[in-house]
Structure 1
Amino acid sequence: MTQQGVRWTTDQVLALAPDASSRKAGSKLGAAGPWSETGTSDEGAVWGLCKGSGSKPYQTIVDTGGGPGGTGPAYKCSCPSRKFPCKHALGLLLLWANGDIRVPDGQGPPDWAGQWLGERAKRAEAKQPAAAGPGGTATPADPEAARRRAERRAQRITAGAAELEQRLTDLLRGGLAQAEQAGYGLWEETAARMVDAQAPGLASRVRELGAIPASGPGWPVRLLEECALLHLLDQGWLHRAALPEDLAATVRSRVGLPASSKEPPLRDNWLVLSQYDTADGHLTTRRIWLYGSESARTVLLLSFGAAGRAPSVALPTGLTVDAEIAGHPGAGALRAELGEQFSAPVPSGGRPAGVGVGQALAAYGQALSADPWLESWPVTLTDVIPSQSPGGGWQLADADGKSALPIPAPAATSPGLWRLVALSGGAPVTIFGECGHTGFHPLSTWTRASPEVISLC
């Protein structure tokens, strides 16, 4: 995962987080404030002391995989967290990724870090003869051992899913009011059990449940909806053998099992449909939607910025870049990584083929059938008019007025909506955005007067 002297990016570090709460907590520690006696070695070890709530700072060290045997990454922290990596390890790696940790001049790691690294080196050396074949050549990894490890993890996830089902049953039997009285501790303890079961996807969804009780009017309905989706995911895992392969793969991904994509990189001229950031504490998430002019494929690039730093990937809306895209596994195959770029981004007047409101809903419904836990789906609406709905909100109505999609409250109060209304002037426009269960979130538009995409973010 790393080479000697090569630092990871912020995205690579945050991708190691076991769940969303760890990613958020780790990003807060990605600044120099709480850290002291930090250092790194040419072999890929990073260490430091992080001030916590106690009198003694936490001793944190990470072997990024560049040490003897290349057996990393591995983490060691004196904090009591049961997550790997913990938030201190993530924060330390973010410091390192951003160049805020240097190799100590003429000094090695402190004793507590050197001892742990030495023990890892000895274990790697001890394993080396066993991994070598005749003449010292390396032998392939044991596929039978890998199969047994996968089976053991699946068994732990199954036990965790069964336990989670029982907890959901107890919650509904006792009534949703008890969720408000119990507070967040109930959910955090349940999430910790899912981490123990090696199901980070379940743990993340459980933590999201903890933020719903007492979150405003209608919270019992929202809690029941999320509990139903979590129950569906549990049942999907427990009965995955009876599912179609594509849906079973989606369930495995949502539970948190890693999957490798067999899809080769796709080279195309990618039009940047939209780029916008969302902030959650010290973590900034950037979403970039791309459309391939030849493949007619829409993909999503995600990048992260921690500790007040901007995400590393930036592609302004309206430009086209000749590049390779590597798709992530999962239903819909929306998530992708930007690969090699063969030219600088240039302005473009292209656009995706648009659909009507009915077709947009059908596309979203079809995507939900493949992934019931999907929050939104990229759609380009054509010949729609932004107008006020009978209920007082805003909507995007077909030119014939027979069908419409509501614009959810957050988007309906944003400056982008007023810009869209002004650009439309009551005439039909083409709009790209995210279609979800709350409605349609406009992100960019084309007017009849301008062939270039106009950002609404």
Structure 2
Amino acid sequence: MTQQGVRWSADQVLALAPDTASRKAGSKLGAAGPWSEAGCSEEGAVWGLCKGSGSTPYRTVVDLTGSAGPVYKCSCPSRKFPCKHALGLLLLWAGGHGAVPSGQAPDWAGQWLAARGERTARERSDGAAGPASGAADPRAALRRAERRAERISAGVTELEQRLADLLRGGLAPAEQAGYGLWEETAARMVDAQAPGLAGRVRELGAVPSSGPGWPVRLLEECALLHLLGQGWLGRERLPESLSATVRSRVGLPVAADGPAVRDRWLVLAQYDTEDARLTTRRIWLHGAGSGRTALLLSYGAAGRAPELALPVGLALEADVASYPGAGQPRAALGERFAPPAPTRVRPPGVTTAQAAARYGAALRDDPWVESVPVTLAEVVPIPDGESWQLADAASDSALPVTRAARARPGLWRLVALSGGAPVTVFGECGHRGFTPLTAWPQGEGGMVTLC
């Protein structure tokens, strides 16, 4: 819509769904039957009335120009964002101009959109004015930071002792101890205000049940924890970029203080991971002009989708600022200057050998990095026994597909897209292999999401 007449695809709309159930329910509402008075504006809003089980239809309106992604308003009682009615409305809008024509917003939608516009203007004005002088006491902030650093140091010292006790007694008892041993240690790290350490400690509990070879993997993870602990205790002797990485890995909050880069950012991929406490959304961007790949992270409480959602396959002109740390791709989305729109941009690809080398180089800057973003050029998915590989079309090198990716239907979508021919694939390359997230066929074909 946006520049106007440019509408999203159904896949781009469904990528906003907070879960599978919402995706299915929204798809059922993507037809004209339950909708009335649907319309859209040149400024980037969509609205409509959806017939429900009651006598009064649900009022649904979506603002597509929000700086953190689309913003939704619906009179239904759902606590999901977007709800199935918002998804259905966007699917109806994406299907063509007939069902959702351009026009003037009705009063109920116009009032909400006007209030949003006023609020956005105030936020921009407040941001331009800067923080009020004297709003924070820098001395008090410094004292709080020092006290937290002392607590973290005490927690790291305790963790080091527990790791030493584990290795002294041997790894075999860890299999019988189960999660209890690690949950207790993780709780101690939470008390020490080191949530990053707590998260890594909790992951150790799953290693003994991860199959053959678990003692080696447990030892590797313990070694990385030990390295992180030593990095924290000796952070003042580290280069500033590596020290920033250590602080971030331990769990200290950091601000995106890098210079803002204005670019047309292609939304490469978006996917969620969940645990008992948190839903984490990862959104990968590629800058058409800068050539930079950036990672946006957004969080939601357990069972709730994060607020930030961007349509995969479209590009948005926006500012993106980087977080500190050596080789860190994480960034923060700043001001958006235009709503998402289609683009022909594709990130440049590399060979599988170059991808592995890129991950190796990243490990020098950040020994705790799990994977790096990579676009593979001209690879073919091929079976390898019970596994799969992405093989270079012009050489004999290949990367194994990770176990997590093999369990997703996206792998079969990739195989079907390839049909034995080379494809371009974006994903994450790490020590477990390559996780495909997005692919393009040869020629001018459009992007296909795999996650």
Normalised by the length of structure 2, the TM-score is 0.66
Q: Which residue, 333, 336, 340 being the options, matches 1:341?
A: 336
Deviation per CA, 1:95-134: give whole Å up to 9, x if none.
Answer: 9998xxxxxxxxxxxxxxxxxxxxxxxxxxxxxxxxxxxx
Q: Is 1:434–1:440's contact at 8 Å kept on the other side of the alignment? A: yes
Question: SS of 1:302's equivalent?
Answer: strand
Task: Give 1:287 shift.
Answer: 2.0
Q: Indicate the percent of aligned positions where both proteins have the same amino acid.
A: 67
Q: Which AA in structure 1 matches 2:236?
A: A
Greater mean alpha carbon deviation, residues 184-193 or residues 248-257? 184-193
What residue is the counterpart of 1:296 in the other structure? 291
The 5-angstrom pairing of residues 297-316 of structure 1 reads: 297-306=292-301, 308-316=303-311
Can you give the 5+ residue segments of structure 1 that lack an aligned partner in the other structure? 1-94, 99-136
CA distance in 2 between counterparts of 1:189 and 1:280 reads 18
What residue is the counterpart of 2:436 in the other structure? 442
Q: Does 1:228 align with 2:223?
A: yes
Q: Is 1:350–1:452's contact at 8 Å kept on the other side of the alignment? A: no
What residue is the counterpart of 1:114 in the other structure? none
CA distance in 2 between counterparts of 1:152 and 1:303 reads 28
What residue is the counterpart of 2:266 in the other structure? 271
Q: Is 1:247–1:331's contact at 8 Å kept on the other side of the alignment? A: yes
Greater mean alpha carbon deviation, residues 229-238 or residues 303-312? 303-312
Can you give the 5+ residue segments of structure 2 that lack an aligned partner in the other structure? 1-77, 82-131
Deviation per CA, 1:118-164: give whole Å up to 9, x if none.
Answer: xxxxxxxxxxxxxxxxxxx9758655554444333323322221221
Q: Is 1:348–1:452's contact at 8 Å kept on the other side of the alignment? A: no
Normalised by the length of structure 1, the TM-score is 0.65
The 5-angstrom pairing of residues 370-385 of structure 1 reads: 370-385=365-380
What residue is the counterpart of 1:217 in the other structure? 212
What residue is the counterpart of 1:318 in the other structure? 313
CA distance in 2 between counterparts of 1:413 and 1:307 reads 23
Task: Give 1:264 shift.
Answer: 3.3
The 5-angstrom pairing of residues 238-257 of structure 1 reads: 238-257=233-252
What residue is the counterpart of 1:40 in the other structure? none
Q: Is 1:349–1:453's contact at 8 Å kept on the other side of the alignment? A: no
Q: Given the superposition, is the C-alpha separation of residues 401 and 412 from structure 1 closer, same or farther in structure 2, using an over 3 Å criterion?
A: farther
Q: Does 1:204 align with 2:199?
A: yes
CA distance in 1 between counterparts of 2:376 and 2:161 reads 43
What residue is the counterpart of 1:85 in the other structure? none
Deviation per CA, 1:271-308: give whole Å up to 9, x if none.
Answer: 11112233445854332211110111111122344464
Q: Which AA in structure 2 matches 1:336?
A: A
Q: Given the superposition, is the C-alpha separation of residues 268 and 164 from structure 1 closer, same or farther in structure 2, using an over 3 Å criterion?
A: same
Q: Is 1:326–1:339's contact at 8 Å kept on the other side of the alignment? A: yes
The 5-angstrom pairing of residues 52-67 of structure 1 reads: none
Q: Does 1:421 align with 2:415?
A: yes
Q: Given the superposition, is the C-alpha separation of residues 398 and 198 from structure 1 closer, same or farther in structure 2, using an over 3 Å criterion?
A: same
What residue is the counterpart of 1:454 in the other structure? 448
Q: Is 1:445–1:455's contact at 8 Å kept on the other side of the alignment? A: yes
Q: Is 2:235–2:243's contact at 8 Å kept on the other side of the alignment? A: yes
What residue is the counterpart of 2:360 in the other structure? 365
What residue is the counterpart of 2:402 in the other structure? 408
Question: SS of 1:419's equivalent?
Answer: helix
Q: Is 2:241–2:324's contact at 8 Å kept on the other side of the alignment? A: no
What residue is the counterpart of 1:74 in the other structure? none
CA distance in 2 between counterparts of 1:196 and 1:277 reads 27
What residue is the counterpart of 2:168 in the other structure? 173
Q: Given the superposition, is the C-alpha separation of residues 372 and 411 from structure 1 closer, same or farther in structure 2, using an over 3 Å criterion?
A: same
What residue is the counterpart of 1:388 in the other structure? 383
Task: Give 1:172 shift.
Answer: 0.7
CA distance in 1 between counterparts of 2:133 and 2:298 reads 36
What residue is the counterpart of 2:327 in the other structure? 332
Q: Given the superposition, is the C-alpha separation of residues 142 and 277 from structure 1 closer, same or farther in structure 2, using an over 3 Å criterion?
A: closer
Greater mean alpha carbon deviation, residues 169-178 or residues 220-229? 220-229
CA distance in 1 between counterparts of 2:231 and 2:237 reads 9
Q: Given the superposition, is the C-alpha separation of residues 168 and 256 from structure 1 closer, same or farther in structure 2, using an over 3 Å criterion?
A: same
Indicate the RMSD between aligned Cα atoms, in angstroms.
2.6
Q: Which AA in structure 2 matches 1:364?
A: Y
CA distance in 2 between counterparts of 1:325 and 1:349 reads 21
Q: Which AA in structure 2 matches 1:270?
A: W
Q: Given the superposition, is the C-alpha separation of residues 189 and 413 from structure 1 closer, same or farther in structure 2, using an over 3 Å criterion?
A: closer
Question: SS of 2:447's equivalent?
Answer: strand
Q: Is 1:350–1:451's contact at 8 Å kept on the other side of the alignment? A: no
